Chain A
Amino acid sequence: MDAKLKKELIQTFSERLSQAAKMYLENCSRCGLCIEACHAYASSPETRYTAVARAQNIRRIYEEYFKKGKIAKKLNEAVEFSDHWMEKVYETAYTCTGCRRCMTYCPFGIDTGVIQGIAKMLLITADMEPKTLEMLADMSIAKGKTIEKTKENFATAAKNLEKEVLERWRSEGGEEVVPLDVQDANVLYVALAGKHSIIPAAAIMNAAGEKWSLSYFEAVNFGAFVGNPAKTKEIAGRIIDEAKRLNIKEVVICECGTAYRVMKHMTGEKPFGVITLVELIARYLEQGRIKLDKSKLPGKVTYHDPCQIARQGGIYEEPRYVLNHLTDHFVEMTPNRQANWCCGGGGGLVAMGEKDFRMKSAKVKAEQVKATGAEVLCTACENCHTQLSDLNEHYGLGVKVEYLSDLTAKALVQD
């Protein structure tokens, strides 16, 4: 590794050294309470898959460049930046899904997400970040600039979804079924590219008589997956500008955990609220604006708490409230809520492929699903849905993997 890159890496590291980061790098007592907490280690017990080992890869660099004292450095196994060590940094960043389960077991609350953030930024500096994630982030940024040219085509495609939305909920006469550019709407709904992320939500909001508008942009933020704060901000900024332009009351994020985390927790003060689609559905049920028919969902149903919505966002009860309106046969996974096992697909791993690692590191998730005896496994995050579908196939779980929104839309009582 040349001296110039080393210097740049030290600079990057120092820019990421907030007080919190310093505390997380200095306070680990090596108690090991986080070891069993990581799904990767629980599934495949190799030391490198523990939270503490991943953090050590970053901590040892910290010791070298940001701590004083020769003896202390030796004792703490300080290492210099090298090509070999950057491979370890890569392992820290991309064998971890950023699920933060470990953090909830750590007596010091050491946030692996912050340490992972340093690792990802170092990789960007060394041009070692996963190119797929970078490409997707750049596409989203370019979309912010080219959107005027493609709006008309998107509007036609949204209009073409009418029939499928109406199959789930009949519209009131004269209403737009998938409305765009609605000034002063209560809700700006931000979906993903696929129609499966638009149709159920549209049916539900129409059934509730909501004044809503579909965003031209996709909710997911690959700037966050690749760990680039500037890109994360620019990608989220497209939606924030759209919401401001339309004078929106609330931005509702589709079933995408990362999208919710970024918009809710990483974009500062905004002149509108941010909620998930599952919270909106729960609110409609509570207000009696929609009713659901339990006969549409026979058999045992279980729910996977997406890490970014549940452990990170604190949204535990709303999905259960919705499920209690959908079925009398809901069974919890064990453990659940804050202690739920990560699906193993977060942190960009699904987009990157990484199927062997994703399957190997989520054996414990597959076993947890199997133990419920459920026929339907539902969740509220597209990334989790993809990973759970892959696990279903790989481990022969024999469940139907469903989106909570789709189950809701299919059970709407038409009155």
Chain B
Amino acid sequence: MSDITPAKILDLKGLPCPMPVVKMSQEIGSVNVGEVIEVHTTDPGSLSDFPAWAETSGNEVVDTEQGGEFIKIFVKRNN
């Protein structure tokens, strides 16, 4: 289990393409620089999409967690 304390939890489970990344990009501004959003998703593709999006937007995927009922991705706002 991740020991990161998120500033916000974002439930993106079951959304159609490309809504998870769209919602993420809309929500990142709602936390402070340095804070983390914990994303809940059921999309295998998110595990590659979110790090790629973070790369282009200057943010960072600091951790991921699998094995539970859904996937958790921890995204830190860097700018």
Q: Which A positions have Cβ atoms within 8 angstroms of B?
A: 132, 135-136, 138-140, 142-143, 145-147, 149-151, 153-154, 156-158, 160-161, 191-198, 216, 218, 220, 222, 256, 351, 382-383, 385-386
B residues within 8 A CB of A382? 16-17
Most chain B C-beta atoms within 10 Å of own C-beta, residue among A140, A142, A197, A386: A142
Q: Report yes or no: A222 in contact with B18, Cβ–Cβ below 8 A.
A: yes
For the complex, give the distance between the alpha carbons of A303 and B18 in Å: 23
B20 to chain A, nearest CB (A): 7
The stretch of B3-11, B30-38, B47-55 in contact with A is: B47-55
- Which residue in A136, A147, A150, A216 is a CB contact (below 8 Å) of B18? A136
16 A–B contacts, CB within 8 A, in A order = A135-B53, A139-B49, A139-B53, A143-B52, A150-B51, A153-B48, A154-B47, A193-B17, A193-B49, A194-B43, A194-B45, A195-B42, A216-B48, A218-B17, A218-B49, A220-B17
Query: Are A157 and B17 CB-contacts (below 8 A) given A135-B56, A193-B45?
Result: no
Q: Does B64 contact A (CB under 8 A)?
A: yes
B residues within 8 A CB of A132? 22, 25
Query: Are A191 and B16 CB-contacts (below 8 A) given A139-B53, A142-B53?
Result: no
Query: Are A194 and B51 CB-contacts (below 8 A) given A135-B25, A135-B56?
Result: no
Identify whether the interface residues of A are mostly helix, strand, loop, or mixed: helix
B37 to chain A, nearest CB (A): 17
- Which residue in A146, A158, A160, A161 is a CB contact (below 8 Å) of B51? A146
A residues within 8 A CB of B48? 143, 146-147, 150-151, 153-154, 216
Q: Report yes or no: B53 in contact with A160, Cβ–Cβ below 8 A.
A: no
A residues within 8 A CB of B42? 194-195
For the complex, give the distance between the alpha carbons of A161 and B67 in Å: 10
A residues within 8 A CB of B53? 135, 139, 142
Q: Which residue of A lies closest to B71 (CB)?
A: A157
Q: Which residue of B lies closest to A225 (CB)?
A: B18
B residues within 8 A CB of A154? 44-45, 47-48
Q: Does B66 contact A (CB under 8 A)?
A: yes
B61 to chain A, nearest CB (A): 9
For the complex, give the distance between the alpha carbons of A150 and B53 in Å: 12
Q: Which residue of A lies closest to B44 (CB)?
A: A157
Most chain A C-beta atoms within 10 Å of own C-beta, residue among B17, B45, B46, B51: B17
Most chain B C-beta atoms within 10 Å of own C-beta, residue among A143, A153, A194, A197: A194
Q: Report yes or no: A195 in contact with B52, Cβ–Cβ below 8 A.
A: no
Q: Report yes or no: B17 in contact with A194, Cβ–Cβ below 8 A.
A: yes
Q: Report yes or no: A192 in contact with B17, Cβ–Cβ below 8 A.
A: yes
Q: Report yes or no: B64 in contact with A153, Cβ–Cβ below 8 A.
A: yes
Ranked 3 nearest A-B pairs via Cβ: A193-B45, A157-B44, A143-B52
A residues within 8 A CB of B18? 136, 193, 220, 222, 351
- Which residue in B45, B55, B57, B66 is a CB contact (below 8 Å) of A218? B45
A273 to chain B, nearest CB (A): 24
For the complex, give the distance between the alpha carbons of A272 and B56 in Å: 31
B residues within 8 A CB of A198? 44
Q: Which residue of B lies closest to A387 (CB)?
A: B16
A400 to chain B, nearest CB (A): 16
